[in-house]
Structure 1
Amino acid sequence: MDTAAPPQPSADPTVTQQAAQEPALALMRDLVRTYQAFYASDEEQIRQWGLTVPQFDVICTLGNTSGLMMGQIAEKTLVTKGTLTGIIDRLESKGLVRREVPPQNRRCFIVVLTPKGQQMFEEIFPAHVTYLRQRLSVLSSEEMQQIQAALQRLRGCFKSQSLFHPSD
């Protein structure tokens, strides 16, 4: 645990000007802009199926499973536990998922895709993978591996402060 006192603000304008030139700021801006561009493009494609990005994330996470508990869904998606219940409620009202109480543990429930949800998963998941493959086709396999390695290394810089996947 780091017990060092936080740095005190400086009254020297040169320090602030130097801080504004910090290369880490440019890196973070590019990272955020890249994420925003990806999210906007991804969201536009996903909305065509009548889903939000978090709903899509849950449908794809449940696909190819016999169902998952809420905690498992939260761990495997980018959805926080606090918003997951509302997402499941909306997917349930669309007839895409249902909650089931397992006979071996009646204190919890699992979320499973309905036949309609399974059919949607089988249609949208491969289509979305094709969409992503087309978008990333400008990158070589080697470039994708390099970017992935760099992102994993960057994530390690913030690992102790991860909100979604503390075990990553």
Structure 2
Amino acid sequence: MAVVRELVRTYQAFSAYSEENIRELGLTAPQFDVICTLGNTSGMMMGQLAEKTLVTKGTLTGIVDRLEQKGLVRREVPPENRRCFIIVLTPEGERVFESVFPSHIHHLKERLGHLTDAETQQITAALKRLRELF
């Protein structure tokens, strides 16, 4: 169980470091995840967006509602299927994406940049192997 404990502690440390920066950027972690997932796309249906983010479909509706209230996303009904809608970034949402995504990547690289290429490859391989066990 030492592996599980270390994995959880590592995730908690990463999450705290990452989320502090995201809050400074004026977003919650789930909002950031949705904006970054939609960035550089023409939009996604809710189901597709839920699959590509770390957010459940039930939670995603509330996140999209709040992002819509902030003017960062909008719902569009595609003409070929009027029973669903696509979530797209607004021009302001695009500006936020273009600002926060590179800023956050830089923030993460401040820590992850201390790893050598060999260490990065070892960690990636070990995490992939661990995921495959489940």
Question: With structure 2 as the length reference, what TM-score do the two structures score?
Answer: 0.98
Cα distance in 1 for partners of 2:108, 2:37 equals: 17
1:72 aligns with 2:48: yes
Calculate the aligned-residue CA RMSD, in Å.
Answer: 0.7
Shift of 1:137: 1.2
* Unmatched tracts of structure 1, length 5 or more: 1-24, 159-168
Shift of 1:145: 1.3
Q: List, as ranges, runs of 4+ consecutive aligned residues in structure 1 with deviation greater than 4 Å.
A: none
Shift of 1:125: 0.6
1:47 aligns with 2:23: yes
* Unmatched tracts of structure 2, length 5 or more: none
1:119 aligns with 2:95: yes
> Taking every aligned residue pair, what percent have the same amino acid on both sides?
71
1:42-99 per-position Cα deviation (integer Å, ceiling 9, x unaligned): 1100001211100000000000000000011111111111100000001001110000
Match for 2:118 among 118, 126, 142?
A: 142
Match for 1:38 among 9, 14, 20?
A: 14
**How many residue pairs end up in the alignment?**
134
Letter in 1 for 2:73: V
Instruction: Report what 1:101 is aligned to.
Output: 77
Instruction: Report what 1:92 is aligned to.
Output: 68
Give the 3-state SS of the residue equivalent to 1:106 in structure 2: coil
Letter in 2 for 1:119: R
**Structure number with higher relative contact order (C-alpha < 8 Å, ≥ 6 residues apart):** 2
Cα distance in 2 for partners of 1:30, 1:134 equals: 21
1:152 aligns with 2:107: no
Give the 3-state SS of the residue equivalent to 1:66 in structure 2: coil
Letter in 2 for 1:40: A
Shift of 1:135: 1.0
Give the 3-state SS of the residue equivalent to 2:92 in structure 1: helix
Cα distance in 1 for partners of 2:129, 2:101 equals: 28
Letter in 1 for 2:115: L
Letter in 1 for 2:40: N
Shift of 1:129: 1.0
Cα distance in 2 for partners of 1:71, 1:142 equals: 37
Between structure 1 and structure 2, the one with the greater Rg is: 1
